[in-house]
A and B are shown apart, each in its own frame.
Chain A
Amino acid sequence: MKKQNKKAVLVAVLLGSMGFALVNAAVDMVAANSQMADIALLSVKAKSNLAKAAKGDDSQAILEAQQRSAAVTKALKAAEAAFAKLEKATKDADKEAAVKELAAAYKAAKDALEGPLPEPVSPKGKKGNAYVPNVTDTPWKSDGARRVSDVAFGVGYAASGGSFGDRDATPE
């Protein structure tokens, strides 16, 4: 190959690489922007769910909505940090790491909103009276037995109009 041709090929390869890199970077940013928009939507949905729950009487539902909203907000913050890293990154390795972090934050936000709670504060989601907890609850019973007892307690309490069903102290 002639010297001039070699130069032309070198310039073409360099320009091609730069173009490819620019296109790649643009693709990363478009995908990242899209994920950020999705996470922001999840955050709005979580807050909307919380607002709806807060209008009701079920304290358990409110608590769950609060937990989910808090977890989505946490994921949104992680996503914003990852996006900022991606914008500043100059090395491919850093960009890849930022993209992975962003994907992880997106998954965390989606799971927080739709999946099981990240770290439940109670063994299983329990239903109960918003105003009156089962004061006869036994914490070492199985979750299934506690759930049945809680509902039965709530029905009995409602039927009695505010009594816990304690038997008389010494009714002889």
Chain B
Amino acid sequence: MSKEKLCLLTVLSLVSASVFAAKDSSLKVQNTVRIGYDDNIYQQKNETGSVFVSDIFNISGKMTFSERSDLLLFWQPEFQYRFDADPEAITYQDLYGRFSHGLTQNVFFQLSDRFRYQDKGAQNDVVNRTDDNFIQNDLKGALDFTLSKESQVKLGLGYNLRRWNDDDYGQTLGNDYDQFVGNASYLRELKPNKTTAIAGVNYVNHSFDGSRGGYQSTALYLGIDQNFTPTVSGNLRLGGSFSSIDTGTDDNDAYAPYFQAEVLMQASEDTTFTGSIGYSMDKSENSYYNAQDSFNFDLGFQHKLTGKLTLSSSVGYTLSYYDSDYADFGNTGGFSVPDTEDRVFHFRVRTSYEINKNNFVDLGYAFTTRDTTEAQYLAEYNRNVIDLGWRFKF
């Protein structure tokens, strides 16, 4: 049985079993058919464009088992056919579940899991192999302890993995990985429903397969959540992360600042702004290195122009810095790679017109550009995608 069929059966079993067991349940289904043009399907400097047709189906259900327990399930497969690509057909799958349970009045438990399947052929013709794909699973659990009306302790554990179907690419070259995450934080409400202070610690142990290495990182931070007005809220985290990077041949110590800030403004019932800025150390998105420092800046905007027309837009900028001390020497045999920067900017805009309660027409445009300081290691490209879609939900 193929992975896709197995996945589908698992989803249907989970959803149907949960729906029957639940006291109250609601189920939502949506399907989007889209036709568009992507002028750089492989995200390379030498652009290859193609018309594409895609179908995105999603189904979500929320089941309430008791006043204390509920389960949310979501599944979104996407099928895309690109007329001038090799391979023409690609698939993505996302399965997500979140179980919430109040163990007592003061102890709250949440467990979430996200499973993703993705074809590699969608991204890059340089290292493209037609049978390359990976699965990724991200399991997270948390316990909230309410100590008093003002104080709360949160404990979290996570396990994230990625597996390629090609053993040579995944295991030998070290693109498979395992990541363990631990978190503990103390929250204290300073002003009811207005200001909450937080102190926390994040631990990450990331290891790639083969002789590639990985890294361990401990971030300590202080933060605050603030509701400035009933419609404007935000949060700030400040601290530092102390890391040890295993390059496959050496262990290098590193320090990076840890900084995150987010803001949400619901200017009116019809208008929402979001913004975030941050700096942190993370796993490398590039196989020449094991870790990277990332600076990101994102803005989101949504506005209901009329009762039936909605405009959504997002802008994002990510600067990734790859220190040569973060390099993957295990696979390069000690070959020295330089410090590198990778800058990605995206802009997306989409309008959605509600024909009736169940039918919508979407028109979208996305622009992405990437440049680097070492073009021989990292691809530079520009990409424009435009599409027109019909969305049906019930």
Contact = CB atoms under 8 A, between A and B. Distances in A.
Contacts of A167: 285
Interface in B232-252: 233-235
B60 A59 contact: yes
Q: Interface on chain B toward A: helix, strand, loop, or mixed SS?
A: strand
A12 interface: no
Contacts of A132: 58, 60, 74, 76
Contacts of B60: 59, 130-133
Contact of B350 (A67, A138, A158): A158
Contact of A156 (B32, B105, B263, B314): B314
B154 interface: yes
A118 interface: yes
Q: Interface on chain A toward B: helix, strand, loop, or mixed SS?
A: loop
B21 to A, nearest CB: 15
Contacts of B154: 140, 142
Interface in A92-131: 118-123, 130-131
Interface string B78-102: 1000000000000000101010111
A161 B158 CA distance: 29
Interface of A: 57, 59, 62-63, 66-67, 70-71, 118-123, 130-133, 135-140, 142-145, 147-149, 151-152, 154-156, 158-162, 164, 166-172
18 contacts: A62-B26, A71-B67, A121-B69, A121-B70, A138-B158, A142-B196, A144-B225, A152-B264, A152-B274, A159-B314, A160-B314, A160-B348, A162-B32, A169-B120, A169-B175, A170-B286, A170-B287, A171-B43
Interface of B: 24, 26, 28, 30, 32, 34, 43, 56, 58, 60, 62, 64, 67-70, 72, 74, 76, 78, 94, 96, 98, 100-102, 105, 108, 110-112, 114, 116, 118, 120, 123-124, 127, 134, 140-142, 144, 154-156, 158, 162, 175, 183, 185, 187, 196, 198, 223, 225-227, 233-235, 262-264, 266, 272, 274, 276, 285-288, 298, 300-302, 310, 312-314, 348-350, 352, 362, 364, 366, 370, 377-379, 387, 389, 393
